[in-house]
């Protein structure tokens, strides 16, 4: 029986390894495509893009988060932990404490608050109660894009605290800058 269970686990691990390999190839292809696009930009376009990125990072110094109360003390603690990481660099696959990807930041923040949540944005999308945009409260997870590949923490007043992408840092951004799917209350 133990041998059968071990064989079953090995099969599951092989399937997971295969799936992760496929995902890695997809990510590498997207990264390669993005790099080609970036390389095709003129110097003026690059300067404009860099200026816009700098404005986005500077704007975090004066973000109005409003007066909304967090959904719970757990959500408040997670959001508070994430705020301490403002300015930390985005690194794909990073889970802190000095660099993060999107779901690395949210899972790290909730771990600091004493709650374990899944590691990936797709898994985090199913980790709690789903919410519409009007139901969001500070500390709720916010899921973006149709394939659920991005997550952040709702910070209040239409702002999300998140780790956006390579070349950026943990920062606040308008919830309307990305295609909102739903919120999740842990």
CA angle, corner 158, sides to 161 and 173, nearest 5?
40
Tokens 């985090």 identify what position? 124
Is 4 tagged catalytic?
no
β-bridge partners, 177: none
Catalytic choice (108, 117, 155, 162): 162
Contact 64, 157 (CB under 8 A): yes
Contact 184, 130 (CB under 8 A): yes
Catalytic choice (71, 78, 79, 102): 102
Is 162 tagged catalytic?
yes
Omega into 80 within 30° of 0, i.e. cis?
no
Residue 55: CA atoms inside 13 Å, Cβ hemisphere, count? 6
Is 28 tagged catalytic?
no
Annotate 54-65 with b (16+ C-beta within 10 A) or e (fewer): eebeeebeebeb
Residues with a catalytic annotation lie at 102, 150, 162
């Amino acid at each position: 029986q133990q041998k059968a269970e071990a064989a079953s686990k090995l099969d599951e691990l092989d399937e997971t390894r295969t799936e992760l390999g496929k995902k890695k190839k997809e990510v590498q292809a997207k990264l390669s495509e993005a790099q080609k696009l970036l390389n095709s930009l003129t110097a003026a376009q690059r300067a404009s893009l860099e200026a816009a990125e700098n404005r986005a990072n500077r704007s975090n110094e004066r973000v109005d988060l409003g007066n909304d109360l967090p959904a719970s003390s757990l959500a408040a603690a997670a959001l508070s932990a994430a705020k301490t990481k403002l300015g930390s660099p985005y690194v794909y696959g990073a889970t802190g404490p000095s660099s993060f990807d999107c779901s690395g930041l949210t899972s790290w923040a909730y771990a600091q608050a004493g709650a374990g949540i899944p590691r990936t944005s797709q898994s985090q999308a199913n980790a709690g109660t789903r919410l519409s945009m009007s139901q969001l409260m500070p500390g709720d997870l916010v899921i973006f894009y149709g394939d659920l590949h991005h997550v952040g923490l709702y910070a209040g007043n239409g702002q999300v605290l998140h780790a956006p992408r390579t070349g950026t840092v943990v920062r606040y951004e308008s919830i309307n800058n990305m295609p909102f799917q739903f919120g999740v209350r842990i």
